[in-house]
Structure 1
Amino acid sequence: MAGLLPSPRSIEQPPQERTEVVVDGSGSGTVFTVLASETAHTILGALREEPRPVSAIAETVETSLQNTRYHVERLCEAGFVEPVDTRYSAKGREMTVYGLRVDRLVIRFEDGSQSAESTAD
């Protein structure tokens, strides 16, 4: 049956060049909470290599499917990762393929009329 399913193809998903997060006390804490996780860092590194379904991400980062799904959902909510394609498993189940949404993150700190900028690659 596996021969009847379409084979995985290379996905060209160039991330956006930059995402800017303004730290002014209004909701930016979510971004920092998501980025505080070592698992999230590892997932971002895996997706930097190529877009993958959750099962392949879990295998690559050596953690459970449930843990991976949790972190991928949080990364999607924060705007770092997005669905880029759909593939089918050997059993014929649909799998969402996730890729990076950003190539670079710029964090800008604002306090009233003053602002300072910090860039993280």
Structure 2
Amino acid sequence: MASLLPTRQSVASPASTRKEVVVDGDDSGQALSALSSETARRILAALRDGPKPVSKIASAAETSLQNARYHIERLCEAGFVEPVDTWYSAKGREMTVYGLLTAELVIRFDS
């Protein structure tokens, strides 16, 4: 039986901009802290293939759902990831789909 709710839609990733983190002691701490975790870097790598719900991100990053949610929240706050859509599970539950906010990251040291 077909579901009345779309379980998956094609989502274009908004990753088209360049993010520059300037290491000057002011606002760089949050971005660098978010990137310091190996799990966070695996999450970013998983999202290079396109937007995904947390369950798929956790599976690709080989971590738990709770750990993936924690790192996704930190990556959102740092401006690397954002919610891009909502899909529905087979049971009709809403799933937030996350995608990369930027395709290129530059870390610059300011004097």
Fold similarity call, TM over 0.5 = yes
| Count of residue pairs the alignment pairs up | 111
| Structure 1 gap ranges (5+) | 112-121
Distance 2:27 2:17 in 1: 23
TM-score (norm 2): 0.92
Identity of aligned residues (%): 66
Tell me, yes or no, if the aligned pair for 1:2 and 1:90 is still in contact at 8 Å: no
Deviation at 1:5, TM superposition (A): 2.5
| Structure 2 gap ranges (5+) | none
Aligned to 2:41: 41
Query: In the alignment, is residue 54 of structure 1 matched against residue 54 of structure 2?
Result: yes
Q: For the aligned residues, what is the CA RMSD? A: 1.4
Distance 2:48 2:70 in 1: 19
1:28-63 alpha-carbon deviations (Å, 9 max, x no partner): 111111111110111001100010011111122221
Tell me, yes or no, if the aligned pair for 2:7 and 2:89 is still in contact at 8 Å: no
> Amino acid of the residue matched to residue 3 of structure 1?
S
TM-score (norm 1): 0.85
Aligned to 1:91: 91
Structure ranking higher on relative contact order (CA contacts 8 Å, 6+ apart): 2
